[in-house]
Structure 1
Amino acid sequence: MPVEPTIAPTPRPAVAPEQAPNNRQWQVRQPFLLAIVLVCGILVGANPFRPSSQNPDGTSRGYLKFKEILSYVDRDYVDSVDAEALSDYAISRMLEQLDPHTVFIPAREQQQASVLLQSDFDGVGAEVNIFHDTVTVVAPLSGGPAEMAGLLPGDRLLRIGETPVSGKHASLESVLGLLRGPRGSRVPLLVMRRHQRAPITMLVTRNRIANNSLDVSYMLDNQTGFIKISRFASGTFDEFKQALGDLRRQGMTRLVLDLRGNPGGYLDRATKIADEFIGGTRKLVYTDGKGDQYDTQTFARVTGEFEEGPLVVLVDENSASAAEVVAGALQDHDRALLVGRRTFGKGLVQQPITLNDGSELRLTIARYFTPSGRCIQKSYQGGAVAYEQELANRQRRGEYLHADSIHFADSLRYRTAHGRTVYGGGGIMPDFFVPCDTLLQSAYYTKLQKLNLIREFALNFYQDHQTELTGLRFEQFNQQFQVTDQQLKTLAALAAKAGTRASVAEQNRCALLLRTQLKALIARHAYGNTAFYQVMQQQDPELLQAMRSFQNGSALLTQNLTSMK
């Protein structure tokens, strides 16, 4: 379950260690995705970095020049300056000349940047959101410190410690920082609760909070399992093994692995998961760097728990880095059928180097390649701005809607283990293309998302009907509950009040999507994360295509090819 310090609804950079259900089908992606990919790139083991230079004289002259200029600025510039901040800025600008994924993380930001890939963290244990400039509790973690202190869904946080957080000046980063803290430390929260006139103060003792990277696992039917992995963090493989074992015990004979929106993470966790599906000692990935210092090859090593059986992997334009390694290995060995859209195209390996002041340099040291020889990294020759706009350019070219808008050069053609044609040169192209739902791109829906009104409406509905929902089993809710026309009109009225008006035609166009999303969010509040996905799967085109692939035998093709080896 998502827990503090998540701030929903949109994916944040690496400062957000967990996120609310993050399915591309019903959330508008924000520009922060690229920041997640930058921080969540494939990380190699933390081997000591050995400084050396192919041009020691040039390095020395550059160092002395920079030191001399910074000294003059610090001593003689007309205004006072922060020399450390200036050097951080200069370093960042210098690295922009290399590649988009070599980054410098100042010491003050390094801890936040690392949280995303940790298996747990210290905090109060509450998922929060921001509605109308107010930090609102979406759900306290079951059994966590916030719940033990009495925090309830819908509570509005006015002050955390001595810092006011209500109002337009509250930032996501500041809220995260205030909610985190050492295990055992105590933080007072000033809380305004619904239907109470005066705020109340709660004293919460921070504790260790699980930071799961596997969002959900459950049976789609009596033979099909579903696992969604949001990133490859330190505990991902253990979470995956447990989920896979549980599904096998429930009778799973075929699996859908959802890597949509997965920005990457630790390479070794990703390859260990790929090893669970690929038998023998087949190559999973290899890297190629300067000289041979960072050249590596990774092979399957163990007898996996699901080396046979139909497998479909869901990917999209937000699947990156380690997610692409897994998808590419499974596709190259004809082990899985890939469904969705072309992946992000992040194929550079970063070496994390801790500097003396606690800051960190994540230096690109190699490129990685799929077993067939495909380099997944897309071009970055146009510079940082062009690189950041590449996904938007895909949309403008119609690539999200039409497979024939995607063009690959013949020189980038490769063959899988059994002769199927695949392409390199920028991301992994799936075997079955599924166009993006155009409703996600409608102006009205986009504005509702930006205003956070859909999630706010669902939370308020849950609070108003909590007693009735508690009396229903999820199966009853899923069969009987429907979002009414009147409730959609109420949502539209709230949007109009917030300055977003839409015609009846625009409202009707989004009606089915909104009904499904509202129902799923209400289900999540009442019954948990799995219920959210079980509702949303009814309007998930990639997942529906995966199920058709099982039914018509397409997914069996790769299984038959694998069994011939």
Structure 2
Amino acid sequence: MNKSNKYSVFIPIVIATIFAIGMLLGYKMNTLNQPDSNVNSGKNKINRLLDLINKEYVDEVNTDSIVNLTVNGILEKLDPHSVYIPKEELAQVNESMEGNFVGIGVNFYMYKDSLTVIKPVKNGPSEKAGIKAGDRILFANKQQLFGKKVKNEKLFKILKGELGSKVNLVVYRKSENRKLSVVVTRDLIPVNSVDVATMIDANTGYIKINRFAETTYKEFHKALVTLKKQGMNEVIVDLRGNGGGYLEMAVAMADEFLKKGELIVKTKNKKGAIENSYATNRGIFESGKIAVLLDESSASASEIFAGAIQDNDRGLIYGRRSFGKGLVQKEMKLDDGSAVRLTVARYFTPSGRSIQKPYLDKGENYFNDFEKRFNSGELYKADSIKVADSLKFKTKKGRIVYGGGGIIPDIFVPLEDIHSEEGITLLLQSDLMNYYVFEKLDENRKFFNSLTQDKLKKEIFSNEKYFNQFRQYIINNGLLISLVHQKEKVLTYLYAEFSRQIFNDQLYYQITLPNDKMIKKVLEKDKNIKK
């Protein structure tokens, strides 16, 4: 099945790229000074070659593009995380990590070649201007936004703009079968790092973090304070799929759990200079229990946080071996508005472990070794994870942990196989579920908007049609997976996704978390300890 032929998911806050951006960043927030202008033969050679091309080459050549290729070629020889970011890409990369951007504030799909609003951002400029879920945005300042040839990049440029600037939209409201003109004043749209913070039972809080950006610690601290007021004395920090970001944010988060003077992380540069980061006395959760959830996509700052918790014996790590990024980058801005992010140090966990995996292959296989892990069996069996005895370290209390590539969990939780009964969860969390629910809402939005949460639940669970329709929907999209024995689970996720699109994200998590395999493992472990 090729879903991209039928749909294009396009969300202004670029959630789909967070993992890649997090690993791309993974750096300290201070920047490098411009390097000294010492001229050597290598520099002279490059400059002379560019001059020769400009003056003598038979055709017109864009020497800027040649320079870009040269810079990329040099950096590719170093390590996978030293990168050149062109001017036109830098703003987008930075924006995703700054915690906000300027736009109109809508989440939407390109549905049947139309830019269709899933939901306007709460209290955002579009909601204030009257834009509703299900609206088709046809034109923005007379520029057409529908049709097969409209690219995502173009949509970004049109809908974003200067703070306080206005954009005139022509909207088709299907529920009322009419067009209307709406003026939206662009404003700052928050890009949240914390997806959800909620209680999953009387004592246990749950906080899911999608990356480590400039606002992450502030959001996380607020979540901790809120959940503590609700009676939380145990917390689950979910870093699955979190590709990392700013090292400082991971350090600040770990400080909330560790006692003053406990080592969080240390970095070592080319000259052997070591910089240690220690916990302060500011932590507000230094005694309550903590569990950290990781998977094969958890990287960089996620690993710093998990390593600090594990090595100080502060809590347990659940899940699968993390990605394995232990390199620290700093940024050097160039005159043309582009930037280089150069690896300047390695980081080590408190026990002395380097989490960086080998990178002889600096290409695509380095960033996507899922297939290798799948084939080796390590995604399904803990004893398939290869560890080197020479990279054996001890935690504060003497437990054995290993370096050499990623954080190995204390409690292994295998990947769910899509062909197993448990693996149905992967399907139910996929875009197919989102698309199906969106299309059902779009058929009769007035009816669904009239339902309370209790009435929505009754509608989904007591009506056979939703289950049968979803079964047919996945068949139509090329998936031959039997759901016959998973009816209750399917209905639960249908109810959760309807709740998310009609009401809010928090309801989705409150409904689905009890079915989460890692969450179950944490709660079971805790229950056994109490016995």
Equivalent residue for 2:335, pick from 333, 350, 356 = 356
Equivalent residue for 1:538, pick from 514, 517, 520 = 514
**Inter-CA distance 80–511: structure 2 relative to 1 (3 Å threshold):** farther
- Report matched runs for 1:212-361 at 5 Å: 212-292=192-272, 295-361=274-340
Q: How many residues align?
A: 524
**Percent of counterpart pairs with the same letter?**
35
> Is the aligned partner of 1:45 residue 2:11?
no
Q: Which amino acid aligns with 2:168?
A: P
Shift of 1:446: 8.5
Work out the CA distance in 2 between the residues paired with 1:99 and 1:405. 27
8 Å CA contact 2:19–2:211 kept in 1: the answer is no
8 Å CA contact 2:138–2:172 kept in 1: the answer is yes
Equivalent residue for 1:526, pick from 491, 498, 502 = 502
Match of 1:22 in 2: none
Work out the CA distance in 2 between the residues paired with 1:103 and 1:549. 42
Shift of 1:464: 4.8
Q: Which amino acid aligns with 1:525?
A: Q
Work out the CA distance in 1 between the residues paired with 2:52 and 2:409. 55
> Is the aligned partner of 1:407 residue 2:391?
no
8 Å CA contact 1:44–1:350 kept in 2: the answer is yes
8 Å CA contact 1:439–1:509 kept in 2: the answer is no
Give per-residue Cα distances to partners, 1:493-537, cap 9 Å, x unaligned: 45555xx3444x545477666444332221112221110111221
Equivalent residue for 1:129, pick from 109, 113, 138 = 109
**Inter-CA distance 260–445: structure 2 relative to 1 (3 Å threshold):** closer
8 Å CA contact 2:499–2:508 kept in 1: the answer is yes
Give per-residue Cα distances to partners, 1:90-137, cap 9 Å, x unaligned: 212221111111111111111101011112221111112233443221
Match of 1:490 in 2: 469
Match of 1:398 in 2: 377
Shift of 1:444: 10
Q: Which amino acid aligns with 1:123?
A: G
Q: What SS class does the counterpart of residue 40 from structure 2 fall into?
A: helix
8 Å CA contact 1:332–1:371 kept in 2: the answer is yes
Match of 2:4 in 1: none
> Is the aligned partner of 1:154 residue 2:154?
no
**Inter-CA distance 403–501: structure 2 relative to 1 (3 Å threshold):** same
Q: Which amino acid aligns with 1:44?
A: K
Give per-residue Cα distances to partners, 1:438-474, cap 9 Å, x unaligned: 1289999989998x44222212333456555555554
Work out the CA distance in 1 between the residues paired with 2:209 and 2:427. 28
User: What is the alpha-carbon root mean square deviation over aligned residues?
Assistant: 3.0
> Is the aligned partner of 1:35 residue 2:15?
no
**Inter-CA distance 78–268: structure 2 relative to 1 (3 Å threshold):** same
Q: What SS class does the counterpart of residue 202 from structure 1 fall into?
A: strand
Work out the CA distance in 2 between the residues paired with 1:552 and 1:511. 30
Match of 1:206 in 2: 186
Work out the CA distance in 2 between the residues paired with 1:165 and 1:81. 34
> Which residues of structure 1 form unaligned runs of 5+?
1-6, 20-29, 557-565
Q: What SS class does the counterpart of residue 45 from structure 1 fall into?
A: strand
Q: Which amino acid aligns with 2:400?
A: T
Q: What SS class does the counterpart of residue 151 from structure 1 fall into?
A: coil
Work out the CA distance in 1 between the residues paired with 2:388 and 2:439. 52
Q: What SS class does the counterpart of residue 171 from structure 2 fall into?
A: strand
Match of 2:360 in 1: 381
In the superposition, the TM-score normalised over structure 2's length comes to 0.90
Once the two structures are overlaid, the 10-residue window that deviates more, 438-447 or 524-533, is: 438-447
Q: Which amino acid aligns with 1:253?
A: N
8 Å CA contact 1:158–1:165 kept in 2: the answer is yes
Match of 1:72 in 2: 52
Work out the CA distance in 2 between the residues paired with 1:213 and 1:425. 28
Work out the CA distance in 1 between the residues paired with 2:508 and 2:418. 20
Q: Which amino acid aligns with 1:523?
A: S
**Inter-CA distance 531–245: structure 2 relative to 1 (3 Å threshold):** same
Give per-residue Cα distances to partners, 1:330-384, cap 9 Å, x unaligned: 0001101111111111111010111111111111000100000111111111231
Give per-residue Cα distances to partners, 1:277-331, cap 9 Å, x unaligned: 00121110000110046x3110001231110021111111111111110000000
Work out the CA distance in 2 between the residues paired with 1:92 and 1:332. 37
> Which residues of structure 2 form unaligned runs of 5+?
1-6
Once the two structures are overlaid, the 10-residue window that deviates more, 176-185 or 479-488, is: 479-488
Q: Which amino acid aligns with 1:201?
A: S
8 Å CA contact 1:34–1:388 kept in 2: the answer is no
8 Å CA contact 1:158–1:190 kept in 2: the answer is yes
Work out the CA distance in 1 between the residues paired with 2:411 and 2:426. 27
**Inter-CA distance 536–371: structure 2 relative to 1 (3 Å threshold):** same
8 Å CA contact 1:492–1:501 kept in 2: the answer is no
Work out the CA distance in 1 between the residues paired with 2:438 and 2:75. 43
Q: What SS class does the counterpart of residue 269 from structure 1 fall into?
A: helix
Q: Which amino acid aligns with 2:502?
A: A
Work out the CA distance in 2 between the residues paired with 1:229 and 1:444. 24
Shift of 1:143: 1.8
8 Å CA contact 1:440–1:446 kept in 2: the answer is no
**Inter-CA distance 145–50: structure 2 relative to 1 (3 Å threshold):** closer
Once the two structures are overlaid, the 10-residue window that deviates more, 340-349 or 260-269, is: 260-269
8 Å CA contact 2:460–2:494 kept in 1: the answer is no
**Inter-CA distance 213–517: structure 2 relative to 1 (3 Å threshold):** same
**Inter-CA distance 401–480: structure 2 relative to 1 (3 Å threshold):** farther
**Inter-CA distance 273–447: structure 2 relative to 1 (3 Å threshold):** closer
Q: What SS class does the counterpart of residue 378 from structure 2 fall into?
A: coil
Work out the CA distance in 2 between the residues paired with 1:265 and 1:522. 32
Once the two structures are overlaid, the 10-residue window that deviates more, 441-450 or 327-336, is: 441-450
Q: Which amino acid aligns with 1:49?
A: N
Once the two structures are overlaid, the 10-residue window that deviates more, 326-335 or 480-489, is: 480-489
Shift of 1:430: 0.8
- Report matched runs for 1:86-165 at 5 Å: 86-165=66-145
Work out the CA distance in 1 between the residues paired with 2:464 and 2:214. 45
8 Å CA contact 2:32–2:331 kept in 1: the answer is no
Work out the CA distance in 2 between the residues paired with 1:305 and 1:270. 15
Work out the CA distance in 2 between the residues paired with 1:494 and 1:479. 22
**Inter-CA distance 479–234: structure 2 relative to 1 (3 Å threshold):** farther
